[in-house]
Amino acid sequence: MENKMNDNRVPRERVAILIDSGCDVTEELIRQYNMKLLRLHVIYPEKDYSDDLDISPQTVYERFPGEIPHTSTPSPQEVKDMADELKREGYTHVLAFAISSGLSGTYNTMCSVLNEEEELTSFVLDTRNISFGSGVLAVWAAQKLEEGMPYEELVRLLPGKVQDSKILYYMDTLTYLQKGGRIGLVTSIVGNILNLKPIISCNGEGVYYTVAKIRGSKQGMTKLLAEAKDFAGDGPVWFSLLNGNAAAASNEMLKRITEALPEGKHLLSKQIAASLAVHTGPGLLGIGILKNP
């Protein structure tokens, strides 16, 4: 879906950064850059919960494996309400960041609503990524805005910047990806009997694919780090650690990756959002890399 660039011109731009909760931006960074947040939904039989507001990822893990909830995107009305809020607060332009359209309908919902808002000049980026692989692009844009980069220049640069961001997941199991219909190009591993563990990422179309299959968690962590280092190259990078009920593994990986990427800047370590936990299950460890920040 194409984005509409409204032709309205105003004497002074005020640009909002809008993200969805699947971008896994921390509350601290949201406050620092005054970002606006649309929450995905985690749906159990008893209630429709708002992502990381009235349900935590830990609750999702505790209710596994007996209960696997559904998820849904922010509704068109929620996006419309956000647009109205932005206009009331005096914003004239919006840079919106959505997790991959290959994994979620959030991008299309944002586009369809924001493109109808004549009082807002909007651009919605399909990050073709997930978690902080998506969110880091919003942080990068927010920093560039603070440095004085014009809105139009960011709109020009952001589509190309997508290829500089990558997230790699070590998965303890593919069960939840399969049950949630997010399996993408990841082949099911019959070799679970052999203790094979996958490392997955998003391809250029924003769909999950298998990067490697490794026997055992120890070799898996080593391969995960090697793949991250290979993508990072030798230049400056931002890196992040994401985990699914695997804080100890994340802390250990932080030590290793800090040594492996001397030109790297650690942006955050966090547990993934509840909406993402639904589809990835426990035991996940992710490394996010942004090149040329």
Per-residue 3-state assignment (H helix, E strand, C coil) for the chain = CCCCCCCCCCCCCCEEEEEEHHHCCCHHHHHHCCCEEECCEEEECCEEEEECCCECHHHHHHHCCCCCCEEECCCHHHHHHHHHHHHHCCCCEEEEEECCCCCCCHHHHHHHHHCCCCCCEEEEEECCCCCHHHHHHHHHHHHHHHCCCCHHHHHHHHHHHHHHEEEEEECCCCHHHHHCCCCCCCCCCHHHHHCEEEEEEECCCCCEEEEEEEECHHHHHHHHHHHHHHHHCCCCEEEEEEEECCHHHHHHHHHHHHHHCCCEEEEEEEECCHHHHHHHCCCEEEEEEEECC
- The answer to whether residues 137 and 94 belong to one domain is yes
pLDDT at 1: 44
Look at residues 137, 160, 183 and tell me which one is the last residue of a structural domain.
160
- 7 in any annotated domain: no
Q: Which domain holds residue 46?
A: 13-160
pLDDT at 217: 85
- The answer to whether residues 57 and 144 belong to one domain is yes
How many domains does the chain fold into?
2
- The answer to whether residues 209 and 124 belong to one domain is no
- 229 in any annotated domain: yes
- The answer to whether residues 185 and 233 belong to one domain is yes
- 2 in any annotated domain: no
pLDDT at 10: 42
Q: Along the chain (293 residues), what's the average pLDDT of each consecutive run of 10 residues?
A: 48 90 98 98 98 96 95 98 98 98 97 97 98 99 97 98 98 81 57 72 94 89 97 96 97 98 96 96 97 96
Task: Summarize pLDDT for 93-130 with one digit per residue, the tens.
Answer: 999 999 999 999 999 999 999 999 999 999 999 999 99
- The answer to whether residues 18 and 155 belong to one domain is yes
- The answer to whether residues 272 and 140 belong to one domain is no
CATH number at residue 196: 3.30.1180.10
pLDDT at 225: 98
- The answer to whether residues 139 and 278 belong to one domain is no
Look at residues 160, 185, 205 and tell me which one is the last residue of a structural domain.
160
- The answer to whether residues 175 and 200 belong to one domain is yes
